[in-house]
A = this chain, B = another copy of it.
């Protein structure tokens, strides 16, 4: 489906840019006039995905994070978050709640679970040594008259 609007964004994988990234995506989604809850869900999911790029994908260096957002005709938004980092060997395992390769962090292992609970769809593709792409999809409720 051809999007009716789209944007691209890229930035250095520094944690100071996490707030920037989710705010920029929020500013883009705002044109659909979502509810506060919808917007907050999207921001949280984007945050988790961006954090993963920074913390896991580029674990030992600072790399670039790429975001593409598309608005589709049926009030759906898709957000693609991509890194060119280390990649994930076993995606299914990585997505299991509580699975983590960084057990020292707080609330470890729940990033993908949070994304899945807040978005309608979460699709992950990855190639070891090449990087990881997460595509988040969410439908925004239509305003009642």
Q: Which residues of A contact B (CB under 8 A)?
A: 5-12, 14, 16-17, 19-20, 23-24, 27-28, 30-31
Contact = CB atoms under 8 A, between A and B. Distances in A.
A85 B56 CA distance: 40
Contact of A27 (B8, B14, B24, B31): B24
Contacts of A30: 19-20, 23
9 contacts: A5-B17, A7-B10, A8-B10, A8-B11, A9-B9, A16-B31, A20-B28, A23-B30, A24-B24
Given A6-B11, A19-B30, A20-B24, 4 more contacts: A7-B10, A8-B10, A20-B28, A27-B27
B5 A24 contact: no
A113 to B, nearest CB: 27
Given A12-B6, A14-B5, A31 B24 contact: no
Contacts of A27: 19-20, 23-24, 27
Contacts of A16: 5, 31
A-B pairs, top 8 by smallest CB distance, nearest first, are A23-B27, A24-B24, A7-B11, A8-B10, A20-B28, A20-B27, A16-B31, A9-B9
A14 B6 CA distance: 10
